[in-house]
Structure 1
Amino acid sequence: MHSYTCRCILKESPVKTKPTLISHHLCPYVQRAVIVLTEKGVDHERVYIDLADKRAWFTQISPLGRVPVLTVGRDVLFESQVIAEYLEEVTEGSLHPADALAKARHRSWIEFGSETLKAIGTFYRANAAEFETARAALADRFNRIGGEISGPYFSGAEFRMIDGVWGTIFRYLDVFDTIEDFRLHEPNGPVAEWRSAVMARPSVMNAAPGDYSRRLRQFLLARNSHISTLIRDRATGKRTAVTRVSS
């Protein structure tokens, strides 16, 4: 278990009881919560745990056995979007649009982001025979949201909660790009421009530990998947063919 105290916010925290975020080094849902905590100026402590070796104290406070978990005094919150919306309600300013319909639209595409994370899991677990189908399905998700982007962020000049959610998705792509060009989105299209803007945001940049990329590559290498083979072959100088269906 590792502890980390956020010191990036110097102004007084709007949440009077310093919360603790129970975290995992690779979890994108933890990163969602960290981004909102940072954007909202909430001083907090992060405690990183090993989900493969869950301790009794963790299972007692996490009914679903997942991270993130936010403790605020004696109270416990779980699930990233619940945590994000709590922080949205108890702090000044908003990471959602003011208009009710626009806010609902953002929340819809946040849910689409959650489903995209599931598609990422399918992608990195796929064997060679399954790989192209999984790659195409993931690419289709980026293509689908591309038409919704206003730029530079999702809905214009202001960074919103949805941008942070997709920042956790783009972080996977940053590592995938070091393995192979999987053509998951157009290199100069709206998704690429949005990705660039989001990943340059300090709250997004600092949402994951400094050794995130190394940890993710180790995680991928252990999947016994097509991605694993690509990583091993790249390390040894081999070239693995990636079969693709012409579009």
Structure 2
Amino acid sequence: MSNVKLTLISHHLCPYVQRAAIALTEKGVPFTRRYVHLAAKPDWFLAISPLGKVPLLIVKQDGGTDIVLFESAVICEYLEETQPGARLHPTDPLTRARHRGWIEFGSSILSDLWGFETAKDSENYEAKRNALIDKFGRVEAELGDGPFFAGSAFSLVDAVFAPIFRYFDVFDTIAPTGAFDALPRVTAWRKALAARQSVREAVTHDYADRLKTFLKNHDAWLLKATA
């Protein structure tokens, strides 16, 4: 696979793109990024994205043929199966299956996060906040001594949750959400992931400003909340 060239089609805020970028960096795989505006999707993008979503991974093979992979889980599994570098999935089948389950749980958190950040009134805001607290509580019960999900080894589960926690790095500068107040293990995990180089480099330097602009454009209740 040494001659394969990889291009990650990205959006500046997409947490699923961040998963793939983190996995690529953890694997030590060189890649390029190309950003698209999802509010005005270009024709070339729609032609190669069956779902009209990011991320896409364009795999340029030795003969010059481009193969396009879509869906972050598929991309990360492909990288794990084909690229050298640190393993991001456990070797034991049962443990690996459990990790895949928690990856899906992370995706369910992202669904609640969308409702939380786009809530336009206090009722919906509080409902989604409480849903998030409940789900993070389930994660708290699963964590060990850390620093990562499975202990000392960084995994794809970490790559999934790092973008989730990044949202709150920005939210916390606007209004306290209280999402992690009673969750010491999740809080420690969040801190460890924020310090990881692959996590820091998964977004551009203006990520926070872009997210705040998104909140303003959606008239988010979070901007009006004080507690």
TM-score w.r.t. length of structure 2: 0.93
- CA shift for structure 1 position 133: 1.4
Matches within 5 A, 1:20-169: 20-73=7-60, 74-92=66-84, 93-126=86-119, 127-150=121-144, 151-169=146-164
**Matched residue of 2:58: which SS?**
strand
Whole-Å Cα distance in 2 between the matches of residues 179 and 228 of structure 1?
Answer: 7
**Cα displacement string for residues 66-101 of structure 1 (whole angstroms, at most 9, x for unaligned residues):** 000111111100011100000000013420111111
- CA shift for structure 1 position 186: 2.6
**Cα displacement string for residues 145-191 of structure 1 (whole angstroms, at most 9, x for unaligned residues):** 11111211011111111111100101001011101111101366000
**Matched residue of 2:224: which SS?**
helix
Whole-Å Cα distance in 2 between the matches of residues 68 and 179 of structure 1?
Answer: 28
Whole-Å Cα distance in 2 between the matches of residues 196 and 225 of structure 1?
Answer: 26
Whole-Å Cα distance in 1 between the matches of residues 92 and 195 of structure 2?
Answer: 27
Whole-Å Cα distance in 1 between the matches of residues 2 and 185 of structure 2?
Answer: 36
Q: State whether residues 35 and 204 of structure 1, in contact with CA within 8 Å, keep that contact through their aligned partners in structure 2.
A: yes
**Matched residue of 2:147: which SS?**
coil
Matches within 5 A, 1:157-196: 157-186=152-181, 189-196=184-191
Structure 1, gaps ≥5 residues long: 1-13, 231-239, 243-247
- CA shift for structure 1 position 198: 1.1
Larger Rg: 1
The one-letter code of the counterpart of 1:147 is A
Q: State whether residues 137 and 183 of structure 2, in contact with CA within 8 Å, keep that contact through their aligned partners in structure 1.
A: no
Greater RCO, CA 8 A, separation 6+? 2
Cα pair distance change 1:15/1:122, threshold 3 Å:
farther
Whole-Å Cα distance in 1 between the matches of residues 103 and 5 of structure 2?
Answer: 27
The counterpart of 2:3, out of the listed 13, 16, 21, is: 16
**Matched residue of 1:194: which SS?**
helix
Whole-Å Cα distance in 1 between the matches of residues 4 and 202 of structure 2?
Answer: 21
How many residues are paired up?
219
- CA shift for structure 1 position 229: 2.8
Structure 2, gaps ≥5 residues long: 61-65
Cα pair distance change 1:61/1:165, threshold 3 Å:
same
Cα pair distance change 1:178/1:75, threshold 3 Å:
same
Whole-Å Cα distance in 2 between the matches of residues 195 and 35 of structure 1?
Answer: 15
The one-letter code of the counterpart of 1:38 is T
- CA shift for structure 1 position 58: 0.4
